Amino acid sequence: MRIWLNDFELNNPAKRVYMNEDIEGLDLPDIRTSRGQRAGQAGSYFGAQIFDARYITIQGSIFSGSVAEALQRRKEIQAALPLYPDRLTVRILDDDGYAYILYAQVMSFKMPIKRARMKSLFKLELEAADPTIYDDTAGSALSAPINKAVPGGFVFNSTSPVFGWSFYFSAGQPNSSVDNSSNVAVNPVIKITGATTNPILTNVTTGQVFQLDNYATASDSVTLIDMQQHTVKLGTAADIDPETGLFYEGRGGNVFGYAPLASEFWSLVPGINQIKFDSGSGADVSSALMVWRPGVMGI
């Protein structure tokens, strides 16, 4: 197994960086359970069970041919570990060829200075608020356009049907179908580029609706709805990082206040999801872009 912390690769013989112990936290995360006992009755009862945050422990060592090389490797691995609001991108290439990605915060990093300066042992503790491990075999996220649904029927070539005038039948545009090929629910990011008024995004499969009220944007705007982070941001195309598809850190204003209390951040359930996009003006953009990754709960 090979692991990258941002761009720093662990288990790399070329740099003599190795993982010594078992890696903890890549199996199923802890499970949070609502349970209790009923007074005067035998046994107990269970309520909802959900996954907790993911806690990962990586232990390893760095060997070097000289003290100068040892100190350089120590600096490199420590420089690869950012603090919040930046997050650590952990990429994993497993022995079967499957690739995975997850995002975590650094909670602890220990690398004592030994008397034998050409070897360093380290222990890294990570916490991933999102317990899902995402498929990165394709090397990037999946994406699909979410078009506004348009009803079909007869369409006349004029505003008033008059005998002899031509008409045609339009099949219309159905709701968009998005396939979550994994066996766990995953949270997409939805990007609306251009003018939009009171946008409504519905997962018809689950019946959940996310919408913004009293909301109107200009033609050069980008509205970014992150269903995982529960954020809604407004910016322009110049604020978007082309590598991640998200706003650069510090870019994009918070417009979550336009979401009414009834709005729900929703996920893509396993299988086919029917997604409906609508807005309040015929002059608005006619499509949005959905980005997501299939996920697993453990490797």
Burial of 232 (0-12, 13-18, 19+ CB in 10 A): buried
In the chain, what is the greatest distance between 2 CA atoms, to the nearest angstrom?
Answer: 97
pLDDT tens digit at each of 299 positions of the chain? 899 999 899 888 888 888 888 999 999 999 999 889 988 889 899 988 999 999 999 999 998 888 898 899 899 999 999 999 889 999 999 999 999 999 999 999 999 988 888 888 999 999 999 999 999 988 889 999 999 976 555 555 555 555 555 655 555 567 899 999 999 999 999 999 999 999 999 999 999 999 999 999 999 999 999 999 899 999 999 999 887 788 888 889 999 999 999 999 999 999 999 999 999 888 899 999 999 999 999 99
Alpha-carbon torsion (252, 254, 211, 103), positive or negative: positive
pLDDT at 246: 85
How are beta strands 88-93 and 2-5 bridged, if at all?
antiparallel
Please give the single-letter amino acid code of residue 202. T
Q: In the structure encoding, which two tokens stand for residue 51, read together?
A: 């996954």
90-121 exposure pattern, b = at least 16 Cβ within 10 A, e = fewer: bbbbeeeeeebbbebbbeeeebeeeeeebebe
Q: What are phi and psi for residue 78, nearest 5 degrees?
A: -70, -35
What is the DSSP pairing of strand 287-292 with strand 271-278? Answer: unpaired
3-state secondary structure of 47: strand
Tokens read off for 29: 């995360």
